[in-house]
Amino acid sequence: MRKLVPLIADALLVILFCAIGRRSHDEAIFAGLLRTLWPFAIGLALGWAVAAVSVGRIFGEIGRGARFDGTSPWPSGIVIWLCTLVGGMVLRVVSGQGTAFSFVLVASTVLALFLVGWRAAFRALT
């Protein structure tokens, strides 16, 4: 169960990101939340899968025995953030949703703060 807590935290933060975005554009939060959320939710799932499979293999050899840790800002948090962002944006393009440059910048910043930031804060406190 403790290994699922970081995944649940990430999922809640991605939902919050989408809800804040809808609210900031005066769009109905609950009515269209799923339409806004699904690309980033799939990106998040992809990020977790990539991090879980690759972190130990790639960074383990470089970092001498690194194992996947869902609470680690580097490399797990960065991999999860990048996959969530890139996957979400690609799926938004494919589905005909907007990807204006300003949105990509805001999404990059907010998702980094949410997905890497809580990990850095957690590491600093423990």
Using one digit for the tens of pLDDT, what is the confidence trace for 52-95? 888 766 555 444 555 778 899 988 999 999 999 999 999 999 99
Q: Which residues of 33-71 are buried (b: 16+ CB within 10 A; e: fewer)?
A: beebbbbbbbbbbbbbebbbeebbeebeeeeeebebbbb
Q: Which position has the token pair 């957690």? A: 122
Nearest to 107 by CA among 5, 9, 24, 4: 24
- Domain residues for the domain of 106 are 5-125
Distance CA 39, CA 60 (A): 30
Residues 6+ apart with CB under 8 A from 60: 66, 67
Residue 42 pLDDT > 70, yes or no? yes
Q: What mean pLDDT is predicted for residues 40-56?
A: 90
pLDDT of residue 66: 59
Question: What's the structural domain count of the chain?
Answer: 1
Q: What is the mean pLDDT of the chain?
A: 88
Distance CA 73, CA 118 (A): 8
Whole-prediction pTM: 0.88
